[in-house]
Structure 1
Amino acid sequence: MENKFELQKTEKGFLFLPMKGSDTAKFGGIGVCDFCANYAAEGKLIPALNCYYCNDCFERWNRDASYYPEDSNYENRKAQYYLEILNNH
């Protein structure tokens, strides 16, 4: 079975999963950006925050956020959790 979802990393080091809003239904979402509350046909899941952001909000968040390497174990666990759900449904 081919994995449809693959982790990507920002230049700061944050892990994220690009996806369609409809894909969020696999983990109980409805494709609404957790920041601006608008429907996002395409966006990014940020495992460390347990949030789905539209592309605009993701870019703003990534610009302003600080990456803490000591959080990487938590971030990796959350990313694997979401990958398991997304790639097995």
Structure 2
Amino acid sequence: MKKIKMDCGHIAYKVSRQEVMLLGGCGICDDCNTSAETGYLVPVLNRWLCPKCYEDFNRRATFYPEDLWAEECNSKYYESVIPVDGGEKDG
């Protein structure tokens, strides 16, 4: 799992299908319902998105400070289950 920063300032994680299975997922996009080998966990939404849906969301997302509590709570859980590779980078 690789931690990245979205264009709007929220964080996301690039994860494989095998990694998301550790959280009880199965690599099916929560937006378009398609299968993908890799995708993105978006803590502020608590959703797993395929690359296409992630790129769409990343383009239109807005940073709302009042959502940070959800992002932080979900991020802590994700990172407690799946190891994070390397440091943050722009994504």
TM class by shorter chain equals 0.7 to 0.9
Q: Which residue is equivalent to 1:73?
A: 69
| Distance in 2 between residues matched to 1:55 and 1:22, nearest whole Å | 16
Aligned ranges for residues 49-88 of structure 1 at < 5 Å?
49-87=45-83
1:56 is matched by which residue type in structure 2?
K
Percent of aligned pairs with the same amino acid: 33
CA offset at residue 65 of structure 1? 2.0
Helix, strand or coil: the match of 2:9?
coil
| Distance in 2 between residues matched to 1:37 and 1:21, nearest whole Å | 14
TM-score, normalization by structure 2:
0.82
| Distance in 2 between residues matched to 1:75 and 1:50, nearest whole Å | 8
Q: Which has the higher strand share?
A: 2
Q: Which residue is equivalent to 1:12?
A: 8
Q: Which has the higher helix share?
A: 1
Helix, strand or coil: the match of 2:48?
strand
CA offset at residue 17 of structure 1? 0.5
| Distance in 1 between residues matched to 2:6 and 2:52, nearest whole Å | 15
**Root-mean-square deviation over aligned CA pairs:** 1.2
Q: Which has the higher contact order (CA 8 A, sep 6+)?
A: 2
Structure 1 ranges of 4+ moved more than 4 A: none
Of 32, 37, 43, the residue aligned with 2:33 is: 37
CA offset at residue 85 of structure 1? 0.9
CA offset at residue 48 of structure 1? 1.3
- Kept in 2, the 8 Å contact 1:25–1:31? The answer is yes
CA offset at residue 70 of structure 1? 2.5
